[in-house]
Amino acid sequence: MSTAYLNGRFLPLSQARISIEDRGLLFADAVYEVVCVARSRGVDLGAHLDRLWRSLQALGMSSPCSRRVLLLLLKQIIVCNRLRYGSIYLQISRGSASRAHAFPPTSCKANIFMVASHGSPPAASPMRITAVTLADTRWARVDIKTTNLLPNCLGLEEARVRGADEVIFYDSASEIMRESSKSNLWMLSSDNRLLTHPRTSNILGGVTRAAVMELALKNGITYKQEAFTRKQAYEAHELFLTSSTGFVSIINKLDGHSIGEGVSDNGANSIARKLYELYLAKLQA
């Protein structure tokens, strides 16, 4: 049975209970992180905690414990669950209080919990998926990693109804591509430029995205944070996603358009595959 952490206690997941007046439940007044675990170690823990602190600050919330204690708790839940490969979900809400839109008194204690999920070792090659596009109707601050994910869920369900694995949100006015329901988007353009959307309030600053940027620079792969359109994406040599649990995933089809067909076939020489292999090597380091 999985062991969870809730407000100072490690206990069986089936016994973890939180108040129905939790503001995360009532208002999505909560932030979260998903940390990949590989070889019983949290991947990019420092970057995840950095982003968590930025999210808390953006919502005017405080962490119920110090960064050092939180790091120890993350490591402890890995041990408690004998987690070799998988992930940890961490959530902090503003706390439990009577339902009112105004923030509760500062004496209200934040609720914090963690849940571990077991997984498998990474595959030797990146996952290949299909995707569809959808006009972005999410709120204007998706750069804050809150639990306000209903539009993401609706978008992913729309993708599944249309026979695809993932949805890519785009700006309805400019047709600029943004990101998927849970990953950052990259493109190797038809003129062989590696691009990803600039870091703005319209996308989440991905931890794996940043790690891939660093790996690219260290290995002579140049990229640019530059917006691109749906039309450019249809004509791309490669499209791929980066995320903490999927690492690097190749998009073979977008809205029925085959990506890179007759160019590189996304094979051994693809940029996405190279970045995936570099990331796997990072996990083993």
Cβ-based neighbours of 26, under 8 Å, separated by 6 or more? 99
In angstroms, the first-to-last Cα distance of the chain is: 30
Predicted TM-score (pTM) of this structure: 0.94
Each residue's pLDDT, cut to its tens digit, for the chain (285 residues) gives 799 999 999 999 999 999 999 999 999 999 999 999 999 999 999 999 999 999 999 999 999 999 999 999 999 999 999 999 999 999 999 999 999 999 999 889 999 999 999 999 999 999 999 999 999 999 999 999 999 999 999 999 999 999 999 999 999 999 999 999 999 999 999 999 999 999 999 999 999 999 999 999 999 999 999 999 999 999 999 999 999 999 999 999 999 999 986 554 446 679 999 999 999 999 988
Model confidence pLDDT, tens digit, residues 218-255: 999 999 999 999 999 999 999 999 999 999 999 999 99
CA 33 to CA 90: how far, in whole Å?
5
Q: Which tokens belong to 51?
A: 């982003």
Cβ-based neighbours of 93, under 8 Å, separated by 6 or more? 22, 23, 24, 25, 29, 30, 110, 111, 112, 147
Q: Which tokens belong to 238?
A: 């490669």
Q: What domains appear along the chain, each with residue ranges and CATH number?
A: 3-118 (3.30.470.10), 127-284 (3.20.10.10)
DSSP codes joined into one string, 184-218: EEEEE-TTS-EEE--SSTTS---HHHHHHHHHHHH
If one counts every other C-beta atom within 10 angstroms of the C-beta of residue 36, the result is 24
